[in-house]
């Protein structure tokens, strides 16, 4: 070997050592910053940003002409290009990757889980493939394109590259776990929030129920006392009118007194409804008929006079199913809803009354459950000013009203609607948007029973008796006097007592054809206990029940034991006359416990 050749070899060796030294120096510097690199990529929130930070580090480690990162889709294992630098090489690398996959080099690299070099399709360049993987899963692939004629990669650089890519893989896995935990946290927070809202909803419902119960207890007591007071105003005019000739100038004033008393009795009925004692009868009715009757009522004419710019439109289903309910309360419900809608449109607008059949199998808004089945749905909507959320929470409270006092109601209207829906085992949904209007939806269980044709009202002569003996048992003197006066006018022989104890004492020494028994008597025996003791002495004794309340459980129990008709105070000639006549017309038979007197 001559001197020139030796010099050449020495020069190549020096170049190699210097280049190797440079790579080692760069690798050491990168190794010293790996901790910072790990923190940086862990703080990134997407695979693209992790790959971008990784690409910045690798660019200074090796003289790649182009670098690309592929992300493995965890759903279908496809390789998706995430980062390519410079971007001009994207198409070139795309073609090379297809060639590498076709030749099986990509699968080989994934099996080896280390860096391998392969030749490009044109054999002019080397391409480095290095899997990006943790111990558990492959996360991606790094592709590095070397310049032409570069044939060797320093081992130390390859080792540092492997560490960088392993850190990137760990960051990707951490990101996945972080997103999983974050999503679970968000889901749990959502569920907790829903539970919290549900608890708050139940707390509001409980508070509302307690409030309604307190007011209902007060209303029930007041209503009972008012019924006793109103009996004189409603019942005595009946007696006076019976004795007056038709052309008497006193008839009109007396009728005015009676009508005023009846209006007051209607308010009392509202209070009873509020007290949840307000559905005295339950019969087969068709809601369309109730609505049509209201549409020609004096109440609606009066409402139209106050609100001439309000139009009322009906959309009633032709084949609407029947329902079981109280015609009086349902009519009042329709009236209150329409009245509320009219009040909400001071500048005029449109009210739409809709009925339809619906099969309900999922909860109505605001309820946790629903009895699945057919329902009759009443909807009353308006184009009024709407209800704000704060008022929405109070609209069913008793005596809460924004109406013009003296023109419409006493603040009991919507409370009566709520009570009526509850008493009919129904549901209610309210939707409102300020400035656009309000919609009330009422859901009532449907029935397949058919409506019984109404009976023509009878005349007073039909109620007259034949001198039968009647015992009136009531702890209120005015009630005894009223009942006695009416029955005497109807040709009955009447005796009155003020307590259950007196009634038992009277019956021990004599007999009567019928007993009219007040259910609420205090102190002493109430109506139910009195009837039990009377039945024990005389199982065939006929009796009818009277009360200032609507039908209660005690009334029903007495009827199961054999008592007959139920009369709701205040008394009227027709009401008490029909009940007495009907009960006396029944045949007598032994009425022991468990007997059901329902015709």
**Higher pLDDT residue, 230 or 453?**
230
Whole-number mean pLDDT of the chain?
Answer: 79
Highest mean pLDDT among 107-121, 241-255, 328-342, 444-458: 328-342
Instruction: Characterize the bridge pairing of strands 427-433 and 373-382.
Output: unpaired
Q: What is the CATH number of domain 3-179?
A: 3.30.450.40
| 84 burial level (CB within 10 Å; 0-12, 13-18, 19+) | buried
Q: Could you tell me what percentage of the chain is helix, strand and coil, using 3-state DSSP and rounding each to the nearest 5?
A: 50, 20, 30
Lowest-confidence pick of 143-152, 332-341, 506-515, 568-577: 143-152
Give residue 221's pLDDT. 66
Question: Which pLDDT band holds residue 593 (cuts at 50, 70, 90)?
Answer: very low
**Rounded Cα gap, residues 396 and 394, in angstroms:** 6
Which backbone phi and psi does 81 adopt, to 5 degrees?
-65, 130
Phi-psi region of 511 (alpha: psi -120 to 50; beta: other; left: phi over 0): beta
Length of the chain: 599
* pLDDT exceeds 90 at position 449: no
Closest listed residue to residue 28, CA positions, set 144, 156, 169: 156
Question: Which pLDDT band holds residue 597 (cuts at 50, 70, 90)?
Answer: very low
* pLDDT exceeds 50 at position 349: yes
**Rounded Cα gap, residues 494 and 472, in angstroms:** 7
Question: Which pLDDT band holds residue 30 (cuts at 50, 70, 90)?
Answer: low
Query: For residues 300 and 351, is the Cβ–Cβ distance under 8 A?
Result: no
Q: Where in the chain is the domain with CATH 3.30.450.40?
A: 3-179
For 313, the 3-state DSSP assignment is: strand
Q: What is the DSSP letter of 315?
A: E
Highest mean pLDDT among 194-198, 482-486, 502-506, 519-523: 502-506
Tell me: the pLDDT tens digits for 167-213? Answer: 777 777 777 787 788 888 889 999 999 888 888 877 877 776 777 67
Q: Where in the chain is the domain with CATH 3.30.565.10?
A: 282-447
Give the CATH architecture of domain 460-585.
3-Layer(aba) Sandwich (3.40)
Query: For residues 330 and 370, is the Cβ–Cβ distance under 8 A?
Result: no
The answer for residues whose C-beta is within 8 angstroms of residue 194's C-beta and 6 or more apart is none
Which backbone phi and psi does 196 adopt, to 5 degrees?
-60, -45
Report the C-alpha dihedral over residues 555, 556, 561, 564, rounded to 10 degrees.
70
Tell me: the pLDDT tens digits for 219-270? Answer: 666 766 777 777 777 777 877 877 788 888 888 888 888 877 777 777 777 6
Q: Where in the chain is the domain with CATH 3.40.50.2300?
A: 460-585
If you compute the radius of gyration of the chain from its CA atoms, what whole number of angstroms results? 45
pTM as predicted: 0.49
Provide the terminal-to-terminal Cα distance of the chain, rounded to the nearest Å. Answer: 135
Phi-psi region of 250 (alpha: psi -120 to 50; beta: other; left: phi over 0): alpha
Domain range 282-447, CATH class: alpha beta
Give residue 459's pLDDT. 66
* pLDDT exceeds 90 at position 309: yes
**Rounded Cα gap, residues 573 and 485, in angstroms:** 10
Question: Which pLDDT band holds residue 44 (cuts at 50, 70, 90)?
Answer: low
- Residue range 358-380: average pLDDT? 87
């Amino acid at each position: 070997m001559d001197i020139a050749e030796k010099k050449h070899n020495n020069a190549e060796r020096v170049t190699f050592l210097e280049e190797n030294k440079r790579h080692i120096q760069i690798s050491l510097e990168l190794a010293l910053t790996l901790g910072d690199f790990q923190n940086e990529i862990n703080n990134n929130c997407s695979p693209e940003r992790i790959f971008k930070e990784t690409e910045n580090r690798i660019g200074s480690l090796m003289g790649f002409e182009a670098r690309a990162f592929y992300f493995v889709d965890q759903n279908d294992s496809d390789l998706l290009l995430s980062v390519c630098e410079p971007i001009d090489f994207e198409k070139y690398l795309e073609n090379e990757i297809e060639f590498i996959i076709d030749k099986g080099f990509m699968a080989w690299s994934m099996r080896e889980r280390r860096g391998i070099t392969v030749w490009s399709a044109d054999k002019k360049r080397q391409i480095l493939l290095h899997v990006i993987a943790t111990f558990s899963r492959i996360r991606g692939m790094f592709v590095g394109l070397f310049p032409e004629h570069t044939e060797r990669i320093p081992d130390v650089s390859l080792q540092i590259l492997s560490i960088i890519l392993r850190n990137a893989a760990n960051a990707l896995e951490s990101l996945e776990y972080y997103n999983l935990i974050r999503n679970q946290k968000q889901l749990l927070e959502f569920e907790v929030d829903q539970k919290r809202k549900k608890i708050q909803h139940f707390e509001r419902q409980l508070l509302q129920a307690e409030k309604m119960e307190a007011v209902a207890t007060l209303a029930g007591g007041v209503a009972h006392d008012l019924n006793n007071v109103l009996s004189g105003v409603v019942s005595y005019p009946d007696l006076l009118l019976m004795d007056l000739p038709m052309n008497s100038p006193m008839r009109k004033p007396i009728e005015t007194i009676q009508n005023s008393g009846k209006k007051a009795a209607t308010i009392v009925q509202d209070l009873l409804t509020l007290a949840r004692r307000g559905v005295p009868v339950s019969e087969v009715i068709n809601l369309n008929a109730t609505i049509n009757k209201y549409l020609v009522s004096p109440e609606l004419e009066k409402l139209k006079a106050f609100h001439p710019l309000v139009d009322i439109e009906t959309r009633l289903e032709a084949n609407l199913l029947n329902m079981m309910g109280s015609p009086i309360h349902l009519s009042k419900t329709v009236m209150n809803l329409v009245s509320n809608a009219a009040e909400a449109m001071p500048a005029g607008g449109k009210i739409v009354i809709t009925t339809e059949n619906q099969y309900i199998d999922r909860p109505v808004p605001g309820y946790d459950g629903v009895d699945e089945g057919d329902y009759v749905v009443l909807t009353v909507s308006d184009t009024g000013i709407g209800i704000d959320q704060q008022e929405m929470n109070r609209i069913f409270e008793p005596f809460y009203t924004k109406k013009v006092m003296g023109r419409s109601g006493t603040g009991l209207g919507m409370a009566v609607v709520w009570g009526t829906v509850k008493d009919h085992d129904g549901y209610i949904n309210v939707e409102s948007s300020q400035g656009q209007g309000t919609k009330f939806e009422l859901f009532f269980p449907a029935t397949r029973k058919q409506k019984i044709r109404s009976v023509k009202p009878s005349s007073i002569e039909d109620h007259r008796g034949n001198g039968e003996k009647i015992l009136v048992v009531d702890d209120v003197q005015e009630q005894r006097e009223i009942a006695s006066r009416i029955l005497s006018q109807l040709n009955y022989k009447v005796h009155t007592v003020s307590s259950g104890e007196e009634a038992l004492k009277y019956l021990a020494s004599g007999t009567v054809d019928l007993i009219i028994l007040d259910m609420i008597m205090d102190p002493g025996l109430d109506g139910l206990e009195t009837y039990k003791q009377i039945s024990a002495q005389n199982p065939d004794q006929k009796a009818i029940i009277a009360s200032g309340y609507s039908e209660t459980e005690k009334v029903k129990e007495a009827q199961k034991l054999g008592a007959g008709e139920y009369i709701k105070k205040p008394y009227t000639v027709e009401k008490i006359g029909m009940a007495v006549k009907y009960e006396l017309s029944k045949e007598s038979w032994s009425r022991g416990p468990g007997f059901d007197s329902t015709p």
